A and B are shown apart, each in its own frame.
Chain A
Amino acid sequence: MSWGSLYFGFLGVVLLVFGAIEFITGLPGIREVSDLGWLSIPGDAWRGIITFFSGLFVFMGSVKFQNIHGLGEVVLGLIMLWIVAGCDIFSTVLESIPGGEEGWFNTFQGFVSSYTPPYAPELWLFPFSVVVIYFIRKRGGG
């Protein structure tokens, strides 16, 4: 078993777990946003479904990581993770600029504080997912 297979197998399981938690906390009647200081679980069932399947594909792909189909499944799962994390980053950046009731633009302190934790699980896991680029390049690109 290769390092890549182990690495993405573990990442896939972590994504699966967080996806399941997000899905459950986002169900109608529960819809709870949990803030653990450095980690927040947004109560959003759709997001949970996406992260869960992202983890499932990454895990399934990691089992046959040596062949191109395994890598393809890992990349597909990570594309789904990047969509969710990318949207989070995009909306954080846009929300940090306007000043709201206070004025046209945010204060410097308000701007900086927009970027401090807690972050959603997808954002925490995003840096660990870009490792896949190394494996894509190693295999000779797309």
Chain B
Amino acid sequence: MKKILLVGNPNVGKSVIFNRLSGARSVVSNYPGTTVDFTRGYMEIHGERFEIIDLPGSFSLEPKDKAEEVTRRMLKEKKPHAVVSVIDATSVERGLYLTLELLEEGYPLVVALNMSDLARDKKIAVDGQRLEEILGVPVVSTVATTGGGLRELVSRIPEARRVDVTQVVQRIKGKRGGKLHTPLSPDDRWNLIDKISGQVVFRGKYKHTLKDVISDLSVQPLTGIPLAIAVLYGFWSFFSAFAGFWTDGFLSKLFDEYWLPWIQGSFPGAGATMAASSPLYAVLVGDPVASSSLEAMGVLTSGLFVPFAIVLPAIISFYLVLTVLEDTGYLPRLAVMVDSVFHKIGLHGFAIVPTILSLGCNVPAVLATRILETRKQRFMVMTLLGVFIPCGAQIGVMRDLIPEYVGLIIVFLFFGYFVMGAILNKLIPGTSPEILMDVPPYRTPNERTVISKTWMRASHFLVEAIPIVLTGVLLVNTLYWLGVIDWIGNIFEPIFVTWFGVPAETARPLVMAFMRKDMAVGMLGGIPMSTGQLITSVVLVSLYFPCLATFLMILKEAGPKDLLRSVAVMVFSFFLFGGLAHLMVALGGI
């Protein structure tokens, strides 16, 4: 099947075009680096079926990070029938650099001048016809968010053609000026771009708008930090209100007053206690006299209650707000704000993107580390978020279990993130180069995109996490029934009790934490302990190894050697910060 590749700088709207053309639902956001891997879809042109591939954003064909490597590799491997070079019409010069490289390498090209509405707003006029004459390939103005110009783009894809770049030089400089040799040097390419833009880009007098002023204010520390506090406050308030509405208002009642008594009474094999019940009852239903689904610990009680009644509302509310923040363009501004802080630990502001994504789920966050340039940076962020950043599901259960201490625990974990980050920065060899961050304009989020993106992420949770939760509870309950958990608890009791100050029974949730951390935190609710011990236990579950899915993703992205190094850091952090949490709880008299 013939292939069409979508190529362009980061955040120029390639994925929006891809979704429109293929009818697929690729994740799009208003910040560079959303697409870190390729996505396939299909489309028809004049009755012929084509495979269309959305590639990660790239500034040039000389890759600077893993996402750009994917683009380079796909261009080489796929032998495309056509390459659509998507250029941001507000920044034509930058897009032309990549476009010229594509022409030099002989790819059959069509140019989409996207975001032409924004260019108009900024009083930038781009003469597409003249650009087409100069480049010798079709040029179409598009507004991907509204679908404007896409019909024309599709109709002109069959006209994609290869052009000898010396012809472009001749068209601009005349026959005598065409002495440049291909491949062009970067300086020659920029000189050529300068000449081209001089003939096709016209900038009118632009007056600073209110949106520009607010954009500037949101990255200046004096105004940006209080705004960031307000945004995070709003994030947390919405998350708590929405999750609380469903969990406390309806779902807990449904599970505790209807489902739990029914299954406790109707499932065969119930005894007076869990030990007196049949093994199957103990594994599937759990405690026959538990009054809440959280405490019952069975596959069909806690195993269903935690993901459906606690985690799902939390995940939906979390992703809803995160999507709004992504699509308005606030996230890259936050990245600029925290840039200087992250520099102190050898990272740069864009590390905030995987870190915040990690607050939703660690798995896509590990994937998002591809936007970081060096192996050192990627290793550091993967490890740090695996250890210190609790996922949305886990925070949802924490909110249900110890609502008044969640903020404190998250602050403690972020403190650990930066301390451990500083240590790793000193220990790990490698460079941490400076980058220039691209801050997109503020945009009003499209409600359909927000809803579909939230639904995609929530359904991903349902499909991926729930089987793991149920298998995990089944496994842990079986191990518990066989006495393995008690055995582990007995072996580690001195460490649990002395170093961490928590009961030996915490072994059971810690085994579960390897499968799913949210379920592990839920299990803590069924163990009798003081508030201080509960806080320390929640911190321990967070610091413990990341869940299985994250583990596999780190293995895939970093390889076995870096995974082992990561595990060493995790073990060290677990003992260091777990002990520190115990000390702080003891000193605080909680």
Residues of A whose CB lies within 8 Å of any CB of B are 46-47, 49-50, 53-54, 57, 68-69, 71-73, 75-76, 79-80, 83-84, 86-87, 90-91, 94-95, 97-98, 104, 136, 139, 141-142
- Shortest distance in angstroms between B205's beta carbon and chain A's nearest beta carbon? 15
Pick the contact of A80: B211, B230, B240 (CB < 8 A): B230
A79 in contact with B227 given A72-B217, A87-B237, A91-B241 (CB within 8 Å)? yes
Query: Inter-chain contact count A-B, CB under 8 Å?
Result: 85
Pick the contact of A76: B217, B234, B237, B250 (CB < 8 A): B217
Let me know if A142 and B209 touch, CB within 8 A: yes
- Shortest distance in angstroms between B519's beta carbon and chain A's nearest beta carbon? 25
CA distance in complex: A9, B234 (Å): 25
Contacts of B463 in A (CB 8 A): none
- Shortest distance in angstroms between B563's beta carbon and chain A's nearest beta carbon? 38
Contacts of A94 in B (CB 8 A): 241-242, 244-245, 249
Contacts of A91 in B (CB 8 A): 237, 240-241
A98 in contact with B249 given A57-B223, A80-B226, A87-B238 (CB within 8 Å)? yes
Contacts of B448 in A (CB 8 A): none
Check if B233 is an interface residue, CB within 8 A of chain A.
yes
A50 in contact with B213 given A68-B208, A79-B227, A94-B241 (CB within 8 Å)? no
Interface flags, B206-247, vs A, CB<8A=1, else 0? 001111011011100001001101110110011011101100
Let me know if A50 and B226 touch, CB within 8 A: yes
Let me know if B214 and A46 touch, CB within 8 A: no
Check if B25 is an interface residue, CB within 8 A of chain A.
no
Let me know if A141 and B210 touch, CB within 8 A: yes
- The secondary structure that dominates the A interface is helix
CA distance in complex: A90, B488 (Å): 46
A90 in contact with B233 given A71-B213, A72-B210, A73-B223 (CB within 8 Å)? no
In the complex, which residue of chain B has the Cβ closest to the Cβ of A139?
B210
CA distance in complex: A141, B214 (Å): 13
Counting from the closest, the 9 A-B pairs by CB-CB distance are A72-B213, A98-B249, A53-B226, A87-B237, A91-B241, A94-B245, A83-B234, A80-B230, A142-B211
- Report the interface size class on chain B: 20 to 34
In the complex, which residue of chain A has the Cβ closest to the Cβ of B231?
A83
Contacts of B244 in A (CB 8 A): 94
- The secondary structure that dominates the B interface is helix
Contacts of A71 in B (CB 8 A): 210, 213
In the complex, which residue of chain B has the Cβ closest to the Cβ of A52?
B226
CA distance in complex: A86, B233 (Å): 11
Let me know if A46 and B233 touch, CB within 8 A: yes
Contacts of B229 in A (CB 8 A): 46, 49-50, 53
- Which of B209, B216, B230 gathers most chain A CB within 10 Å? B230
- Shortest distance in angstroms between A94's beta carbon and chain B's nearest beta carbon? 4
Let me know if B233 and A76 touch, CB within 8 A: no
Can you give 5 A-B contacts (C-beta < 8 A)? A50-B230, A72-B214, A73-B217, A87-B241, A142-B209
Let me know if A69 and B226 touch, CB within 8 A: no
Check if B161 is an interface residue, CB within 8 A of chain A.
no
Let me know if A90 and B223 touch, CB within 8 A: no
In the complex, which residue of chain A has the Cβ closest to the Cβ of B254?
A104
Let me know if A68 and B209 touch, CB within 8 A: yes
Check if B72 is an interface residue, CB within 8 A of chain A.
no
Contacts of B208 in A (CB 8 A): 68-69
Check if B253 is an interface residue, CB within 8 A of chain A.
yes
CA distance in complex: A68, B229 (Å): 24
CA distance in complex: A50, B234 (Å): 10
Contacts of B248 in A (CB 8 A): 98
In the complex, which residue of chain B has the Cβ closest to the Cβ of A56?
B226
Let me know if B223 and A76 touch, CB within 8 A: yes
Pick the contact of A104: B214, B245, B250 (CB < 8 A): B250
A76 in contact with B209 given A84-B233, A94-B241 (CB within 8 Å)? no
Contacts of A72 in B (CB 8 A): 210, 213-214, 216-217
In the complex, which residue of chain A has the Cβ closest to the Cβ of B250?
A98
Contacts of B234 in A (CB 8 A): 83-84, 86-87
- Shortest distance in angstroms between B260's beta carbon and chain A's nearest beta carbon? 17
CA distance in complex: A80, B248 (Å): 28
**13 new A-B pairs (CB below 8 Å) besides A83-B234, A90-B241, A104-B250?**
A50-B229, A57-B223, A76-B218, A79-B214, A80-B226, A80-B227, A83-B230, A83-B231, A84-B234, A98-B245, A104-B253, A136-B210, A141-B210
A97 in contact with B241 given A47-B233, A80-B230 (CB within 8 Å)? no
- Shortest distance in angstroms between B523's beta carbon and chain A's nearest beta carbon? 26
CA distance in complex: A136, B213 (Å): 13
Contacts of B227 in A (CB 8 A): 76, 79-80
